[in-house]
Amino acid sequence: MPAKHPLVPAPTRTNVNGAAFLSDSRIDCTLFVALASTPIEKRSMLPDLNGEFYRVDMELAQADSRWRVIQVTWRQAMLDDVMNGEGADPS
């Protein structure tokens, strides 16, 4: 059965909050992902965001010259996660 509405890619903004090397072949990082109906050009637009905002915490491991996700957790991000300095984008 075809979808009633076509799938339209939503404007996204992904912000990597640095990466912490646990060893030469393991990294911890936090991603902030916003899916919105309009482009998100700067952090100050987040309070008026009409969309979804997620925090993704990941651990990656390098094997055979490739990085692979070995653990991931995600949750709905709170505005304080980014506005209190956790996000890498200063605007």
pLDDT of the residue at 6 = 46
pTM as predicted: 0.62
pLDDT of the residue at 18 = 66
pLDDT of the residue at 90 = 40
pLDDT of the residue at 8 = 44
Q: b or e along 17-56 (b: 16 or more beta carbons within 10 Å of the residue's beta carbon)?
A: beeeeeeeeebeebbbebbbeeebeebeebeebeeebebb
Cα distance between residue 73 and residue 24, in whole Å: 22
Q: Return the structure tokens found at 44.
A: 């100050």
Positions of the chain with pLDDT under 50: 1-12, 86-91
What CATH topology corresponds to 12-81?
Nuclear Transport Factor 2; Chain: A, (3.10.450)
Return the amino acid letter for 57. Answer: D
